[in-house]
Amino acid sequence: MEQGSLLGVGKEAEVYENGQLVLKLYKSSKTSAFREAAILAILEDLGVDAPRVRDVGEIRGRWGLTMTRAEGGTFGEAIALQPLQASTYLDALASMHRKIHDHSGVRLPSMKSRLSHNIERAVRLDEIRRQHLLSGLRLLPEGDRLCHGDFHPWNVLGSLKRPVTIDWLDACSGDPLADVCRSYVLMHHYDRDLATAYVDAYARLTGRNPRDTLTWLPYVAAARLSEGVPDEVDSLMGLIEGSALI
């Protein structure tokens, strides 16, 4: 494995050039490298348009994987540069997201189990609110669709004609609307109007009511609290406390 120029930095890893490929080096244990490699292999079997894993290994004490390179900037950057084209990019994102959800996710972990585990770990929740959330979550559908788990405009690269979705470490099996709600929560911190417009775009495409997606909101926001993003805590608590559930 060869480490070239730095291409990008995320919460979980850094991405470097590696010849015609890219090298993704994780900040945590080698578990993440093998987990994402396994997920990418499953996606390749399913025919999902995602990077193809080529190797998993260690470089200077850190574990990573090499994979095919997704060319171009992110959709998030494109929206910022061309705000009048935002609706076009959001429609394209919704179409990509729906195609992901067309696939079975039964070979992947349960989204509801992950949400429940993360709500249990969220230290900012008092015990009464935590138990209300866990009880409400149990009533929502399990779902068996492929869910990206971290789908937002900064995880889609390329042009409108040739987009590629990256960062599949959190892929799971669940209800598509929970996955869309996760996108809403991730986007809401940066641009509330953009987040709302994305939920509306997905709803138009699928014929679902946007309120059905936001049924998941308190649970997804509460689970996000456990992910170590201190600058989002106030926003997430606002989403939880604004729910009719609590």
How confident is the model over 7-45, as pLDDT tens digits?
888 888 999 998 899 999 998 778 999 999 999 999 999
Helices (H), 86-126: 86-101, 111-121
112 and 19 in a common domain = no
168 and 223 in a common domain = yes
128 and 188 in a common domain = yes
Per-residue model confidence (pLDDT) at position 1: 66
- Interacting residues of 23 by C-beta distance below 8 A, sequence separation 6+: 1, 2, 3, 4, 15, 16, 17, 59, 64, 65, 66
Whether 80 is covered by a domain: the verdict is yes
Question: Please, are residues 63 and 170 in contact by the beta-carbon 8 Å criterion?
Answer: no
Per-residue model confidence (pLDDT) at position 246: 39
Flag whether the pTM goes above 0.75: yes
86 and 59 in a common domain = no
192 and 167 in a common domain = yes
Whether 63 is covered by a domain: the verdict is yes
Q: Which domain holds residue 230?
A: 75-241
Per-residue model confidence (pLDDT) at position 12: 83
Query: Does pLDDT of 2 surpass 70?
Result: no
Question: Please, are residues 186 and 217 in contact by the beta-carbon 8 Å criterion?
Answer: no
Q: List the single range of 10-24, 39-53, 139-153, 219-233 with lowest mean pLDDT.
A: 10-24
Per-residue model confidence (pLDDT) at position 174: 98
36 and 106 in a common domain = no
Q: What is the CATH number of the domain that holds 231?
A: 3.90.1200.10
Whether 117 is covered by a domain: the verdict is yes
Query: Does pLDDT of 245 surpass 60?
Result: no
Q: What is the CATH number of the domain that holds 12?
A: 3.30.200.20
Q: How confident is the model at residue 215 (pLDDT cuts 50, 70, 90)?
A: very high
From 167, 174, 178, select the one nearest 217 (Cα to Cα): 178
193 and 98 in a common domain = yes
Helices (H), 122-175: 127-138
222 and 106 in a common domain = yes
Q: How confident is the model at residue 141 (pLDDT cuts 50, 70, 90)?
A: very high
From 154, 11, 185, 156, select the one nearest 76 (Cα to Cα): 154
Query: Does pLDDT of 60 surpass 90?
Result: no
Mean pLDDT, range 172-196, rounded to an integer: 97
Whether 246 is covered by a domain: the verdict is no
Whether 1 is covered by a domain: the verdict is no
Give the N- to C-terminal CA distance of the chain in Å, as an integer: 50
119 and 49 in a common domain = no
Whether 53 is covered by a domain: the verdict is yes
Percent residues over pLDDT 70 in the chain? 98
Task: List pLDDT tens digits, range 69-113.
Answer: 988 999 999 999 999 999 999 999 999 999 999 999 999 999 999
Task: State how far the alpha carbon of 89 is from the alpha carbons of 78, 179, 208, in Å.
Answer: 8, 18, 20
Whether 92 is covered by a domain: the verdict is yes
Domain final residue, candidates 47, 68, 89 = 68
Whether 193 is covered by a domain: the verdict is yes
Average pLDDT, the chain: 94
Query: Does pLDDT of 124 surpass 80?
Result: yes
Q: Count CB atoms within 10 A of the CB of residue 118.
A: 17
- Interacting residues of 42 by C-beta distance below 8 A, sequence separation 6+: 107, 108
- How many domains in the chain? 2
Domain final residue, candidates 68, 83, 116 = 68
Domain final residue, candidates 68, 87, 113 = 68
